[in-house]
Amino acid sequence: MNVSLIWQSLPFLWTGFLMTLGLAAVSIAGSTVLGLAVAALRTSRPPLLRGLGRAYVELFRGSPIPITLLFVYFGAALYLGYGVNLFVAAAVGLSVYHSAFVAEIIRAGIEAVPVGQHEAAQILGLKPAQSFRWVVLPQTVKIAVPPLVGQYISLIKDTSIASIIGLAEMMKVGQSIVDRTGDPVSIYLTVAVLYFIVCYPLSLWVTRSQRRAI
Amino acid sequence: MSTATPNTTTIGRGIQLSGVSKLFGDLEVLKDVTLNVDDGEVVVLIGASGSGKSTLLRIMSGLETSTTGEVVVGGVPMHDPKRAPEIRGHVGMVFQQFNLFPHLDALGNVTLALRKVYKMSKADADAKGMQVLARVGMDDRAHHQPSQLSGGQQQRVAIARALAVDPRIIFFDEATSALDPELVGEVTNVMRSLADDGMTMVVVTHEMGFARRTADRVLFMADGVIAEQGTPEELFGNPQHPRTVQFLSKIAEA
Amino acid sequence: MFEYQWRTVLAYWPDYLHAAVLALQITVVGFLLAFVIASAAALARNSASAILRFVATCYVEAIRNTPVLLQIFIVYFALPSFGIRLSAVTAGTIALGINVGAYLTEVLRAGISSVGKGQLEAAQILGLSTRTVLLNVVAPQALRNVYPALVNNLIQVLLGTALLSAIAVPEITGVATVVNARTLLFVQVFGIAVALYLVLSYGLSAVATLVERLSFKTPTGRRTRKRTPAPTLTGASS
């Protein structure tokens, strides 16, 4: 363990760390918005829309993330020329991939709200949109938040995959330092600790909330 | 400060059903039911499980549609899918499982429709809400969450919620069946006082005492038809139909 | 024009095929490794020894809170510093096994606790040794109850092989990247890759279902054609 090397590398790793967090934040937002839309598809009445939602979910849950990411990256590269913004490509790829999982979590949350709630709202005169917004959605959120946070933790870890398209997030920065200095043990363990510091508290929160729910 | 909802003049009165049938797949749950309920009348439906009484109630309140027949509630032709939604907000329903909104307190439950459907200001809605909560004796718990209330208290809040929109008719779907016996009385007392105030009520229940004391008319249902109907004295005192006799004697044994 | 694109990419089918076979091999071996590790870790977490519990918990939490790509890099690039030099395929398989092993640990723990306490008491009274109880009473029921979760994790190993392209393993994603570099027909190239993964995962699921049907007998001991009942984690066994 080369402590002085670690110390010297920290500024670089910090830049990568910020990039990781930034990418995670944008992708979390993106995947949630997309996931909501797909969940709406999945729970809508026309079978065509439901089928579309189902196909979307099956497609992304059945493919590895690198492929989704590479697809977005090369697609953008070919159609926009090589001035592709790596951050945007990574964010789009991660958002699209994780939106499939977010959609399923939200859908399960919606379906967990008893039918009687919607019926009561309907009788009171609330229109379907109002019933969803003021009666179903608040309850869905309460149910869905712990599994959603679990999914976001996965997303934070998956930002590391953006390294394969060259984005300078924490994993890639670590790689570059290792290539330069030839000390994989110190650097990679440090990077591991950095990821752990972010993810572990969130994991604890998820476990605790799910225990409380039971 | 206005506490009235813009709800009183838009629909007619009473309920008229004729030739109503309901099929769930191959199962005929209701067979050619004809029924009239007058404005201000309290009609109680009794019968065994599967007799179709809950389905009939849900058809009248708009939660289900009849397979055949005419259903007119408060002047609204419910069997016409284009016009059926007009009924919403003009009838009330009290469910066996209460169906209170768990994320809102008692006052919130009662005022949600007032604020979102009738666009009342928070002040007006809260005033009206407290008024109906007082009517059912729950104004001192206006800020309790449903999880903090007993079953009887929750059901009373549910009644207040239904009352808040000034409905013409209130439907009760086994409102006391999910309550512990000692809590039934507080709910039936509220229902009694609503009846005394002239509310039109259609009640599905197993509480024969309530039927005896409060109903204007009792209908006994079996196998999807109204087997017998009459005043409480007539039906309980002198039942004609063999199924009615059978049912009542089983109740008496319990 | 469109047809030409597909024909060009499909001409690489031998490479895709070899890649798919390799991915399958890594998946199977990796999953078996994960299962062995997870069995040990699940027992450790349930054991009376606080040290064992601590070690196992550290393993699970460390793996689940760090990226799998990083774990692959550590096994492949960092171990040589300790004198352990592995081929890319071996390193990748081991890394995936260790990774999925952590998730499988939790699955197996749930499975073990789903076997009602009453059974353990009955077995104890009968004088059965701990080993017999584990192998003949707990394991069959635990596995049957969490079988879908097991299959899920198997698929996760398959999807994880895609990351091994980062250490130059010639599996499906790696091959696709090369073919794409040559032809630039990324839609077809990655489309076929996705199709391969989907085919492989549905295939693995089907095989897993077959295995389930053949191995899980009903309580009376006779094999039946009926599907096993839906697994519950509440201790309710059929």
Q: What is the pLDDT of residue B36?
A: 93
C-alpha–C-alpha distance, residues A183 and A180, integer Å? 9
Proportion of chain B above pLDDT 90, given as a percent? 61
Distance between CA atoms of residues B136 and B114, nearest Å: 18
Q: C237 pLDDT exceeds 70?
A: no
DSSP string, C126-147: TT--HHHIIIIIIHHHHHHHTH
Closest-CA distance, B103 to chain A, in angstroms, reads 7
Q: Is C186 on the interface with A (CB under 8 A)?
A: yes
Whether B116 sits inside 8 A of A130 (CB atoms) is yes
Using an 8 Å Cβ cutoff, are C149 and C107 in contact?
yes
Structural contact between residues A91 and A23, judged by C-beta atoms closer than 8 angstroms = yes
CA gap C19, C168 in Å, rounded? 12
Dump pLDDT digits (tens) for B33-63: 999 999 999 999 999 888 899 999 999 988 8
Average pLDDT over residues B148-163: 94
Is residue B217 helix, strand or coil? Answer: strand
Choose among C70, C77, C187: nearest Cβ to A192: C70
Average pLDDT over residues C178-196: 90
- Contact between B213 and B195 under an 8 Å Cβ cutoff? The reply is no
A66 reaches C (C-beta below 8 A) = yes
**What's the pLDDT at A48?**
92
Q: Measured between CB atoms, does C199 come within 8 Å of chain A? A: no
- Residues with Cβ within 8 Å of B161's Cβ and at least 6 positions away in sequence, in order, are A120, A124, B100, B109, B110, B112, B113, B132
Give φ, ψ of B207 to 5 degrees.
-80, 95
Contact B62, B87 (CB under 8 A): yes
Task: Assess whether pLDDT exceeds 80 at residue C127.
Answer: no
Task: Give, in order, the Cα–Cα distances in Å from C134 to each of B86, C131, C137, C142, C232.
Answer: 64, 5, 6, 10, 19
Residue C120: pLDDT band by 50, 70, 90 thresholds? confident
Percentage of chain C beyond pLDDT 70 is 90
Stretch B131-141: mean pLDDT, rounded? Answer: 94
**What is the spatial distance between Cα B248 and Cα B242, in angstroms, rounded to a whole number?**
10
Q: Report CB contact under 8 Å: C74, A164.
A: no
Could you write out the DSSP letters of every residue in A95-127? HHHHHHHHHHHHHHHHHHS-HHHHHHHHHTT--
pLDDT of residue C229: 43
Write down the pLDDT at residue A196: 96
The pLDDT, as a whole number, for residue B74 is 87
Where does the pLDDT of residue C137 fall: very low under 50, low under 70, confident under 90, or very high at 90 and above?
A: confident
Q: Answer yes or no: is pLDDT of C235 > 60.
A: no
Structure tokens of A172? 């890639």
Q: Say if the Cβ atoms of A120 and B92 lie within 8 Å.
A: no
The answer for residues whose C-beta is within 8 angstroms of residue C21's C-beta and 6 or more apart is none
Q: Residue C186 — very low, low, confident or very high, per pLDDT cuts 50/70/90?
A: confident
Distance spanning both ends of chain A, measured CA to CA: 44
**Rounded-to-integer distance, Cα C123 and Cα C139, Å:** 13
Residues A2 and C193: their CA atoms lie apart, in Å, by 41
Residue A139 CB contacts under 8 Å (≥ 6 apart), including other chains: A109, A113, A117, B101, B102, B103
Are the Cβ atoms of A63 and C159 closer than 8 angstroms?
yes
Q: What are the pLDDT digits (tens) for C139-155?
A: 888 888 899 999 999 99
Nearest Cα neighbor of C122 from C139, C142, C138 is C138
Identity of the residue numbered B117: V
Query: How high does pLDDT run on average in chain C?
Result: 85
pLDDT along chain A (214 residues), means of 10: 83 94 96 94 90 93 93 85 83 96 93 91 89 90 92 96 93 92 90 95 92 65
Q: Do chains A and C touch (3 or more CB pairs under 8 A)?
A: yes
Assess whether chains B and C touch, using the rule of 3 or more C-beta pairs within 8 angstroms. Answer: no
User: Which parts of chain C fold into alpha helices (H)?
Assistant: 2-10, 13-46, 50-64, 68-73, 88-113, 117-125, 130-132, 139-145, 147-160, 172-183, 186-215
Cβ-based burial of A186 (10 A; exposed 0-12, middle 13-18, buried ≥19): buried
Beta-strand pair B169-173/B91-94: parallel
Please state whether B88 falls in left (phi above 0), alpha (psi between -120 and 50) or beta: beta
* Neighbouring-strand partners of residue B23: B28
What's the CA gap between C157 and C63, in Å, rounded? Answer: 14
At residue B5 the predicted structure's pLDDT band, cuts being 50, 70 and 90, is: low
The pLDDT score that the predictor gives to residue B253 is: 65
Average pLDDT estimate for C21-28? 96
Residue ranges in chain B assigned as alpha helix (H): 53-61, 106-116, 122-135, 151-164, 181-196, 208-214, 232, 242-253
Number of neighbours of residue B81 by Cβ within 10 angstroms? 9
Taking only the tens place, the pLDDT of each residue in B177-215 is 999 999 999 999 999 999 999 999 999 999 899 999 999
Structure tokens at C226: 């009926």
* Six-digit token string for A134: 């003021």
Residue A213, pLDDT score:
60
Residue among B111, B97, B180 at smallest CA distance from A114: B97
In this prediction the ipTM stands at 0.89
Instruction: Please state the separation of Cα B179 from the chain's center in Å.
Output: 16
- pLDDT for the residue C160: 95
Query: For A116, which of B62, B97, B116 is closest by C-beta distance?
Result: B97
The pLDDT of residue C227 is above 50: no
DSSP-derived 3-state class of residue C170: coil
Q: Does B26 have pLDDT greater than 90?
A: no
Number of CB atoms found within 10 A of residue C110's CB: 16
Collect all residues with Cβ–Cβ distance below 8 Å to B167 and sequence separation of at least 6: B7, B89, B90, B91, B92
- In chain C, residues with a C-beta closer than 8 Å to the C-beta of A184 are 73-74, 77-78, 81
pLDDT value at residue C225: 42
| Strand, coil or helix: B226 | strand
Are the C-beta atoms of A77 and A142 separated by less than 8 Å? no
Q: Which of residues 138-197 of A touch C (CB under 8 A)?
A: 153, 157-161, 163-164, 171, 174-175, 178, 183-185, 188-189, 191-192, 195-196
pLDDT band at C1 (very low <50, low <70, confident <90, very high): low
Beta bridge partners of B119: none
Long-range CB pairs of C21-26 (<8 Å, 24+ gap) are: C22/C89, C22/C169, C22/C170, C22/C171, C23/C158, C23/C161, C23/C171, C23/C172, C23/C200, C24/C158, C24/C200, C26/C89, C26/C92, C26/C93, C26/C96, C26/C157, C26/C161, C26/C164, C26/C169, C26/C171
Contact C70 A171 (CB under 8 A): yes
Tell me which residue in B63, B92, B162 faces A119 most closely, judged by beta carbons.
B63
Residues in chain C closer than 8 A to A157 (CB atoms): 65-68
**What tokens were used for B128?**
């009206």
Q: Which residues contact B135 (CB under 8 A, 6 or more apart)?
A: B160, B163, B190
